[in-house]
Amino acid sequence: MNPLAIIGNVVITALGETGRLSLFTWRAVTHILRPPLYWRLIGQQMMRIGYFSLPVVALTAFFTGGVLALQIYYGSDQFNSESIVATIVALGITRELGPVLGGLMVAGRAAAAIAAELGTMRVTEQIDALSTLSTNPFKYLVVPRVIAAVITLPALVFIGDVIGIFGGFVVGTQTLDFNAGVYIKTTVDFLELDDITSGLIKSAIFGFIIAMMGCYQGFHSRGGAQGVGRATTNAVVSSSILILAANYVMTSLFFSS
Amino acid sequence: MNISVPAKDIKIELKNVHKRFGKKIVLHDLSLTIPKGKSLVVIGGSGSGKSVMLKSILGIIRPEKGSIKVDGKDVTKLSTSEREKTLRKFGMLFQNAALFDSLPVWENVAFGLIQGRNMKRKDAKEIALEKLGQVGLTTEIGDLYPAELSGGMQKRVGLARAIATDPEIIFFDEPTTGLDPIMADVINDLIVNSVQKLGATALSITHDMASARKIADYIAMIYKGEIIWAGTRDEVDNSGNEYVDQFIHGRADGPIKMDVLKP
């Protein structure tokens, strides 16, 4: 095959996909703004996406806080490390690691589950059946998931922040023999409200990305079991990459000045 | 080739509809008239464009050219909200029933009433159980989930869901596919009864001739995305069309060539 044709093909496919995804996102946003909303379904999705992700996010945060404390301790001047460990654990968790790792864990759980569920509904014609029962599939399937993810992700990440800092505290006081009072005081002194809110804003965006990619891939899955499998993989991979990219963009916006 | 009825008796009218997916032409200048209160069965082989035709009428697929009028309104030109209003006239039985597997059977049947018409759940359940009775299912079935039912039962639940909102138009997508001959005939009887009871206009697509003969007032044949013959049920045996003859007698030899390698 002509190499130019291959390049052209790749570019056209990429542009086409970007266009479809943009249109899909636009439709989702306009449907969120237009009543009615299915409150029952939103609640159900908040349970599935948020509540059931809590153990995963909590464990991730705890061990991340702990390992952060250890590495900072080993990497720094060990005579003077008490205040440095506490500060960097608190900032690292709230600003970056809490939202990003929390987002990635939920992407693995929720984006995959959404894509698999909607993908199966697509290939078994259940999504078409919704239309014939005068129910808008966008309103019924996409909107509740997007709203639920945007609300629950910041809540999850906030809990993750607390647990992550606690993880650092446990390792600091138990393994590294820091004074508990000094550790807590340093954390509280150095941590500012902006550190936490920036992380929560990020996580709301990540929630949007997770639900959108799960729904998009599920809605566009084709061809039976294999198609649903592909949609699930694509949802996790694309939402993970988008989370990391969006995180970089938001960090450079929030912390540039 | 088309069914000729006075304009006031036309329920759905497709005119010169074209649809392609990439390079593959699926509907090619398809025209078809569906008379009000009658049952039309479209026969045709696999991949002849039957399902795409149904989904175009429902607005799930948008054709590139041509018009599709339901009660005189062109559904290809409607806005989303107007389309949703038009869709209220329709009920549809899907090929594999397409029941919502996350909901119990009664809620599947009541879905169009609860979501589409904002009926109270309690009232909708009553109607759902009544419709389940109409298709020969007991009220205990209502609390089961679709995955717990056999194929024939799922089809009957699908039928109950399609008629639950008393639609003016009902579509049947291969209603007997995948069922044993006896269950297929049970479904055929249920279709005939429920369509008559509602006085609805019915459009079915199938390749099962026994089913077509039983449920049709009119029969049309689709081949390569085009309606090549249409007439009453009794005319189908003397159509004088060799494509139709080959299809209804199920012969491998004839003008319709299958894409299979000869041994």
Note down the domain range covering A56. Answer: 39-254
If you average pLDDT over residues A154-163, what whole number do you get?
95
Token pair for B78: 């409607």
Report which secondary-structure segment, H or E, holds B93.
strand B90-93
Instruction: Report pLDDT digits (tens) over B86-143.
Output: 888 889 999 888 999 889 999 999 998 888 788 888 988 999 998 888 888 888 888 9
B169-173 and B201-206 beta bridge pairing? parallel
More confident residue, B7 or A174: A174
Token pair for A218: 């599920």
- The tally of domains found in chain A comes to 2
A3 and A112 in a common domain: no
A30 and A1 in a common domain: yes
A46 and A5 in a common domain: no
Q: What is the pLDDT of residue A115?
A: 95
Which backbone phi and psi does B199 adopt, to 5 degrees?
A: 65, 30
A178 and A134 in a common domain: yes
Closest approach of B83 to chain A, Cα-based (Å): 9
What are the boundaries of each domain within chain B?
A: 7-81+205-249
A93 and A155 in a common domain: yes
**Does residue B208 register a pLDDT over 70?**
yes
A13 and A48 in a common domain: no
Domain B7-81+205-249 has CATH 2.40.160.40: no
Q: How far is CA A18 from CA A211, B108, B246, in A?
A: 17, 35, 47
CA-based nearest residue in chain B for residue A126: B98
ipTM: 0.84
Q: What is the dihedral of CA A50, A54, A59, A62, to 10 degrees?
A: 90
Mutation choice for A interface testing from B100, B103, B109, B203 by most A CBs within 10 A = B100
Residue A136: its chain B contacts at CB < 8 A? Answer: 80, 84
CA dihedral over A236, A237, A241, A242, signed as positive or negative: negative
Q: Which amino acid, B170?
A: I
| Nearest-by-Cβ selection for A131 from B60, B91, B100 | B60
A93 and A181 in a common domain: yes
**Does residue B1 register a pLDDT over 70?**
no
A250 and A141 in a common domain: yes
Residue A128: its chain B contacts at CB < 8 A? Answer: 55, 58, 60, 94, 98
For residue A4, count CB atoms less than 10 angstroms from its CB and return exposed for 0-12, middle for 13-18, buried for 19 or more.
exposed
A79 and A28 in a common domain: no
A106 and A21 in a common domain: no
